[in-house]
A and B are shown apart, each in its own frame.
Chain A
Amino acid sequence: MTDAVQDSNRHTISVLVDNESGVLARVIGLFSGRGYNIESLTVAEVDAHENLSRITIVTSGTRMIIEQIKNQLRRLVPVHKVHDLTIEGPHVSRELALIKVASTGEKRVEALRIADIFRARAIDSTNESFVFEVVGATEKVEAFITLMQPLGLVDVSRTGVVAIARGSKPL
């Protein structure tokens, strides 16, 4: 397994699955059972008529491991499509985070100022706190959280990454 550490790369994988009970457990069980790594995983129904859900997984590994992950996912009976957005061409990915900052005075003003730079919206506010909503690439969300740290950050909730290929073609 020594080469697993070498040239490990992050990949965003989109998986189209039947929206049935147990399907998420199958996917997660596959990752934990085989020791693959999950950096983020999101799931929601995307086609009520065809009863399909879309899972977006951000994972990392060597080329051989990433290939294994995709092939193992394809073995699952309720899995219909597996696409590696990272290697298949340009794609956009976003996540949303809700970030609670509790502070007063200078710090509170500074938090608002930085939120403005990040186009984060305050969606809840009291005299001593804000809840900001920030949307963007993972790096942006992380940068925002880091900046909030000294300004009274008390709570974070993140969706994890959703992603889609650029251009006109469907998955």
Chain B
Amino acid sequence: MVHHDTMTGAEILLKALVDQGVDVIFGYPGGAVLPIYDELSKQNRIRHILVRHEQAAVHAAEGYARSTGKVGCVLVTSGPGATNAVTGLADAQCDSVPLVCLTGQVPTHLIGNDAFQEADITGITRPCTKHNYLVKDTNQLARTVHEAFHVARSGRPGPVLIDLPKDVVQNRGLYQPPSKTKSKYNPQVKGDIHAIEKAVDLIASAKRPVFYVGGGVINSGIAACQLLTQFVRMTGFPCTLTLMGLGAFPGSDPLFLGMLGMHGTVEANMAMHDCDVMINIGARFDDRVTGRLNAFSPNSKKIHIDIDPSSINKNVAVDLSIVGDCAHVIEDMIKVWKARQPKIDERALRAWWAKIEEWRGADSLRYPASDTIIKPQYAIQRLYDLTRSRNPYICTEVGQHQMWAAQHLRLDSPLHWLTSGGLGTMGYGLPAAMGVQTAHPDALVIDIAGESSIQMNIQEMATLVQHNLPVKIVILNNQYMGMVRQWQELIHGARYSESHMDHHPDFVKLAEAFGAVGLRAERPDQVDGVITEMLAVNRPVIVEMRTDASENVFPMIMPGMAHNEMVLGQEDRSRDNPGSEQDGMVLV
């Protein structure tokens, strides 16, 4: 008997997704999710982007989420479909990207039976999701979906997985709207006002301050980035950004010191080392940023603003912590600052800026120019100059090219920089760009890639072509897993064990084989030409730039070293004697 106010689980699921504002799902079908796919085919509220590998579906949803501030959505089948998604989920977990991943599951009565395409995906993903659910009753489906979106986007964002046994999506049950769904999960967003007042006093008293800003401000949203920019400019203090924070403060602003950390600028790292007040907003004292902990910014008072209490006092003990959402906290800080009109120590600040200008004078991102071979930094600078007027979205893969992009692109807009920071997932960039382009069909979306990384999800070229997503892929082909080669050169006695690939595809022909456009530059004088050509095409393009294979990323803080012990370049190898790996960093 069919109750007329009941719906099938698949109907309930899609209605719940629509009610949660989902307009795109990235997915791949299979037996366990066929009832959902059947339902998808009967509607047109939600667009489905059919990928070529489930990992790519998750990265695409990450790209969608991070470039819009919304929750990304993924749909994959049970067993291998779900396990293929795991890397993407782990990536989203590390970088705090809000996702909901729907996985098919064998029918409830077969769970635990080693049934065909059964995987204990809630067990497998427990440590790499923010939360996960196994739905056992169709009547619980709508509630679970609503809560999953709430959990994904609230507090510190992250991926949430919902495992859907086939019978649960086939059976009938009742729908429940979001308005009727209460969740006990409600993280604190307002910061403690007394702590904020104390922070303002401390900031105002600083003689050598630095803002150390991270991905949490991006997570908090465009408003948070604007408030941050306003606050930093009100103080006139220097500001550095983490890899994940790039774009939160305008890259072209004179107060910006560039990225900090392992491959950060001299001025950023030295300012961190020598500061007397550090204002950490939405950054998590990652080991790639701090260097050797016992030498990390030894003489500063540290303020830490973070929505996740577990980020506070995790690696670095701080003097003043404020738990809350960046936008709320910065807004309150601005109010308190305006109300108090603090007298800042202008003289000390002038001296501090003079010091910073001295460090800036080192011009630590400079590189030897060449008119015979394409320097990767040159390629990125040209790409930036020729595209910045179009405010492109930039995605990257993982490796040296990622670091050069982070160093040399001075992005002014938040949500336009997408990179895999925490997990460092090669193969992230192309599918992420796919997700960005889906969300912003008319925007210029570029993936800066290495020739090795790009091969990890190259199959997605077919997705780009099928869905008319004109992503531009710029491969800096240095013939090596350059980042690995660099570590081997600097740390492992230049023994290049397995970091060279003897064979690569012809990327131009490969692009063409997928139905995309392929271009190549082999000399510096061809770089502008291929970029211009690439920009003129409204289709997916692969541009291969043959770059200098021996180039390394500098500055570099070697593992176990401190901010004031950077290696500045190839000629400055006095300090390339790595400290203990133990409390330092390990190779990604």
Seen from chain A, the residues whose Cβ lies within 8 Å of a Cβ on chain B are 1, 21-22, 25-26, 29, 33, 64, 67-68, 71-72, 74-77, 80
Contact = CB atoms under 8 A, between A and B. Distances in A.
Given A1-B583, A22-B122, A77 B131 contact: yes
Interface of B: 122-123, 126-127, 130-132, 134, 151, 156, 184-185, 308-310, 312-314, 317, 582-583
B309 A22 contact: no
Given A67-B313, A71-B312, A75-B310, A25 B123 contact: yes
A8 B46 CA distance: 54
A64 B313 contact: yes
A26 to B, nearest CB: 6
A33 B583 contact: no
* Residue from the set A26, A68, A80 with the largest chain B CB neighbour count within 10 Å: A68
26 contacts: A1-B582, A21-B134, A22-B122, A22-B126, A22-B134, A25-B126, A26-B126, A29-B126, A33-B127, A64-B314, A67-B313, A68-B310, A68-B313, A71-B308, A71-B309, A71-B310, A71-B312, A74-B309, A75-B156, A75-B308, A75-B310, A76-B131, A77-B130, A77-B131, A77-B151, A77-B185
A33 B583 CA distance: 19
Given A68-B314, A71-B308, A71-B310, 9 more contacts: A1-B583, A22-B132, A25-B123, A29-B126, A33-B127, A68-B313, A72-B310, A75-B156, A75-B308
Contacts of A67: 313
A74 B127 contact: no
B310 A64 contact: no
A81 to B, nearest CB: 11
Closest 10 CB pairs of A and B: A71-B310, A77-B131, A71-B309, A72-B310, A33-B127, A77-B185, A29-B126, A75-B310, A77-B151, A67-B313
A22 B125 CA distance: 12
A68 B308 CA distance: 11
Contacts of B123: 25
Nearest to B310: A71
A22 B131 CA distance: 11
Nearest to B582: A1
B561 to A, nearest CB: 18
Contacts of B132: 22
A25 B129 CA distance: 14
Contacts, number: 36
A29 B310 contact: no
Nearest to B309: A71
B127 A29 contact: yes
Contacts of A21: 134
Nearest to A75: B310
* Residue from the set A21, A25, A64, A71 with the largest chain B CB neighbour count within 10 Å: A71
A74 B313 CA distance: 15
Contacts of A72: 310
Nearest to B185: A77
A72 B313 CA distance: 12
A105 to B, nearest CB: 51
A120 B217 CA distance: 59
A33 B123 CA distance: 13
A91 B168 CA distance: 46
A72 to B, nearest CB: 5
Contacts of B134: 21-22
A21 B127 CA distance: 16
Nearest to A33: B127
Contacts of B583: 1
Nearest to A72: B310
A16 B122 CA distance: 22
B317 A64 contact: yes
* Residue from the set B132, B310, B314, B317 with the largest chain A CB neighbour count within 10 Å: B310
Contacts of A26: 126
A74 B126 contact: no
A33 B131 CA distance: 15
Contact of B184 (A1, A68, A80): A80
Contacts of B126: 22, 25-26, 29
A74 B310 contact: yes
Contacts of B185: 77
A33 B125 CA distance: 12
A33 B127 CA distance: 8
Contacts of A22: 122, 126, 132, 134
Contacts of B310: 68, 71-72, 74-75
B498 to A, nearest CB: 29
Contacts of B122: 22
Nearest to A25: B126
Nearest to B155: A75
Contacts of A33: 127
A75 B156 CA distance: 9
B8 to A, nearest CB: 25
* Residue from the set A1, A21, A67, A80 with the largest chain B CB neighbour count within 10 Å: A67
Contacts of A1: 582-583
